[in-house]
Structure formats: structure tokens, C-alpha cells
Amino acid sequence: MTDTSPDGALRDSRAADDRWLYAWAAANVAIGAVSLLVPLFVVELGGGAFALGVCWFATSVAMIPGALGVGGLVDRTGRYRPFALAGLAGLAVTAAVLPLLGDVSTVLVADAAFWLFVASATPVFTTLVLADAPEREWNARIARLNRFQGYGWAGGLALGAVWTRLAGLALGPLAVQRSLLGVCALLLAAATVAVARVLDAPARGPTKSTPSPAALARRPRVLTTVRGALSPLLPGRVVSLSRTSPRALVSGVSRPLAAYLVAVSVFFAGFSVFSAPLPDFLAGVGYGDDAVFALYVVSSLAAAVFYAAAGRLADRYDLRRLQSGALGARALAFPAVAVGALALGAPSLESLVAVALLNVAVGLSWAVVAVTANTLVARYAAPGRRGAALGLYTALSSGVGGVGGLAGGWIAARTGYVTAFEIAGALVLAGAVLVLAVGRIASARDGGDAVAGD
């Protein structure tokens, strides 16, 4: 039976307009694979933990101007197609250049350029998914975008695991990595062509239903991360940066929000101290590229599957205690990864299973942190300043994540991975304690009453 109602026709029209989602999902397959492939490529070229820290720092810094610059242009012009194509084409070109490089320094520069284009393209598609949609549909449409992005990313990690396993039977490690980078470049080129074909060529100017920056500031839960929402081993970068001016980032910060942002800075630094040198550690103890990819797949899928449940938990329990518990689990899991891999003798099956289970814990805890952090920031923000507060949260998580990654690489190179992971766990645990302390500040501000819903 055909739905001939106006609402049915509207859904059919939007389904046709949203064909670009499949192309963007394919692009995220390549992006997800590259996110882990380049660190492994750096290690194979002779780079160690400190080189991975520099890589982490460079990509964190490179993403900020991409999101700020292109997102602002989209808001001002109402045009999507040229910016989407430019971002995807830039990704395809940089992915094609990467396998041609033969030293660590040039790979780091090219990888930073790659993530600059990721941060440039992502806000275009995030804005596009909301275009011409009434406000009541924003949450559902953002959720749909997240599913396409998230499963595309996880698919890229799975592709890496399968490719490195099968191609490794006939090729050496460097040749396998270069060939997979070539496959990623082809995927991105195909995604660029597909978007060019299905995305309307004329400029799509603002309409009455197009979300305004002021309206966007009223929807704290739909703001998502570029890498953080897709991989629990990576620091968060929120797309809202593209719509937030630098002056707005620091205005109207309340005492509870300032205290919470201090906690955010501490535990995000811990996340990156752990994550930046992790690929080098796993390779060093004997895991092959296929096993490393598989471990990241486990972590990413655990987070993706648990997001909905984390949202339900956040509706039922005190947000600060819930987040602190998740942070405490991460604080224990980080050093346990090193201890388990070393004690069980990687790359044994027992070691692989143990580290995989720890990565499940890392992924599940990230889902809780990701859900509760945006809500806490929005609730502690001054009236009418939610968008700016979320932008400041993003800037801090990205900037501190870059510094933490650099520090983690340096610590691992100087003192060893176990020490680096212990420091990472201690920072995350300190952040958990600070999150609990925010409740007292909020209660004092509200005359003894906690924030509603916490």
C-alpha cells in the first residue's frame, strides 16, 4: 500500500534528499580506517611513542580551524554542496598522498591535513541533515546521522582488521598499510563523486525551518563529536565549534560550569595520555595490525551499542555520580590494559581476550561520559549561553586532548608505557573526584538545591 498522505510524501522526499548519507557513511569507513592506520604506519616507519604523541597533538590542533572556518561559511551562505565536495576531495587527495610518503615527519604533516579536512566536512553534513526539517525532527535526524557515521567508522576499523589479516599473507607490513591507504583514497574519491551526483547543485538558502544559531543553542543533546562519539579511544571534538565565535566561548561562565570544565580538562588529558601511545604499545608487545584493528573495533562497537542505554541511565540517576562511576571504570581499565597484555604474554589468545574485555569497558564508559558531559555543561551554562558553553567544552576537550597526547607520548618514551597508563588512570580518577565536587558548588549556588535532574 502506498502512503499518499502529505506526511508520507514529505518523508519520501526527504529520503531521496538524504541519499548523500550513504556516501558520507562510505567516507566514514575510510576515515575510521585511517584513524588507526596512520599511527600504525608511523610505527612501521620507525616512529615511537613520542612520534605518536606529536601526531595526536598535530591532528587536534588542525581540526579546530577546519570546524570553525567552514562551519561559519556554511551558516553565512546557506550553501552546502561546494563545501562538502571540497572537504571530501581534500580527504581523497591527502589519503592518496599518504602511502607515497616514506618518513615520519611528512606523514605527520599529511595526517594533520587529513584531519583538517575531516573537521571541515563534518559540520557541513551535520548542518545539512537539519536543513528544511522542523525543530521537532532535529533529534531524530541527528541520531540518524550518528548511526551512519558511527557504523561507517566501525566498518572502517573492521575493514582494517580483515585487510591487514588477508593482505598480510602475501605482503609485508608497510606494503599492506600502503595498499589499505590506497583503498581508503578510492573510497573517499567514490564518496566525493556520489555526493556530487546526489546533492542538489543550486545553493540551498536558509528557510523558515532551517535551524538558526540561537535555536541550535537550545538543543544540548544533539551536539556530537567528530571523533569522540565514534571512537572511545579518541578525544572529543564537538561540531558546535563551527557555530561559536571565539568571544562567545568565554562569556557567561558560571562558577559550577567553570569547576566542571576544570574537571573536563583533567580527565580528557588522562584520556589522551592513554590513547596516543596505545598503538605503539600494542605493536611493541606483539600484536599484529589485524589484532590492533580488532581491539579498536570492539571498543567502538561497545560504545555505539551502549549509547541508548547510557541515555536511559542518565535520565534515571544523578549525572555527576553516573559520570564519576564511568570515569572510575576508565581509570582502572587504562593501566590494566598494559598489565594484562604484559602479564599474559601477548600475542596469546588469553591476552587478546583480556585486552578486548578491557576495551569493552573503555567503550562502555565512554558512552556514559559522552552522554552526561554535554548535558552537564548545558545545565550549568548561564541562561541563553548553552551553545557558547558547549563550544567552550569542545575547545577545552580538543586542546587539552592534544597536549595530553603529546605528554603521553613523551612519558611513554621516557619512562615506559605502564607508567604512562598509570598516570592516565590517575588523571581520570582525579577528574572523577572533581566532577563529584562540582555538586557542592552547584548546590551552594542554588541555595542548597541541586540542579534539577542531576
Q: pLDDT tens across 292-309, in order? A: 888 888 888 888 788 778
pLDDT of residue 3: 44
| Alpha carbons 40 and 36: distance in angstroms, whole number | 7
Residues facing 225 on adjacent strands: 238
Confidence label for 270 from pLDDT (cuts 50, 70 and 90): very high
pLDDT of residue 187: 95
Asked if residue 67 has pLDDT above 70, the reply is: no
Asked if residue 205 has pLDDT above 60, the reply is: no
| Alpha carbons 169 and 269: distance in angstroms, whole number | 38
How many domains does the chain divide into? Answer: 1
How confident is the prediction for the chain on average, in pLDDT? Answer: 76
Whether 7 is in a domain gets the answer no
| Alpha carbons 439 and 443: distance in angstroms, whole number | 6
Asked if residue 409 has pLDDT above 60, the reply is: yes
Whether 452 is in a domain gets the answer no
Q: From 223, 230, 222, select the one nearest 363 (Cα to Cα).
A: 230
Q: Which residues does 168 contact at the CB level (< 8 Å), separation at least 6?
A: 176, 288, 289, 290
Confidence label for 5 from pLDDT (cuts 50, 70 and 90): very low
pLDDT of residue 388: 59
Whether 6 is in a domain gets the answer no
Parent domain of 352:
12-445
Contact (CB, 8 A) for 55 and 105: no
| Alpha carbons 111 and 115: distance in angstroms, whole number | 6
pLDDT of residue 94: 95
More confident residue, 348 or 259: 259
CATH number, position 293: 1.20.1250.20
| Alpha carbons 62 and 238: distance in angstroms, whole number | 14
pLDDT of residue 241: 43
Contact (CB, 8 A) for 386 and 378: yes
Q: From 7, 383, 363, 426, select the one nearest 15 (Cα to Cα).
A: 7
Backbone angles phi, psi at 225, to 5 degrees: -95, 155
Contact (CB, 8 A) for 375 and 389: no
Select the highest-mean-pLDDT range: 49-58, 98-107, 338-347, 433-442.
98-107
Asked if residue 125 has pLDDT above 60, the reply is: yes
Confidence label for 99 from pLDDT (cuts 50, 70 and 90): very high
Asked if residue 262 has pLDDT above 80, the reply is: yes
pTM of the model: 0.70
Whether 418 is in a domain gets the answer yes
More confident residue, 249 or 353: 353
pLDDT of residue 237: 37
Q: From 161, 196, 166, 170, select the one nearest 27 (Cα to Cα).
A: 196
- Number of DSSP helices (H) and strands (E) in the chain, helices first: 16, 0
Asked if residue 311 has pLDDT above 70, the reply is: yes
Angle 73-76-81 from CA coordinates, rounded to 5°: 55
Instruction: Give the three cell numbers for residue 58.
Output: 598535530
Asked if residue 429 has pLDDT above 90, the reply is: yes
pLDDT of residue 142: 61
Tell me what the mean pLDDT of segment 200-221 comes to.
43
Instruction: Give the three cell numbers for residue 305.
Output: 551499542
Whether 147 is in a domain gets the answer yes
> Which amino acid type is present at position 421?
F
332-379 pLDDT per residue, tens: 998 888 888 887 776 777 778 888 888 888 888 888 887 788 778 767
Whether 5 is in a domain gets the answer no
Whether 97 is in a domain gets the answer yes
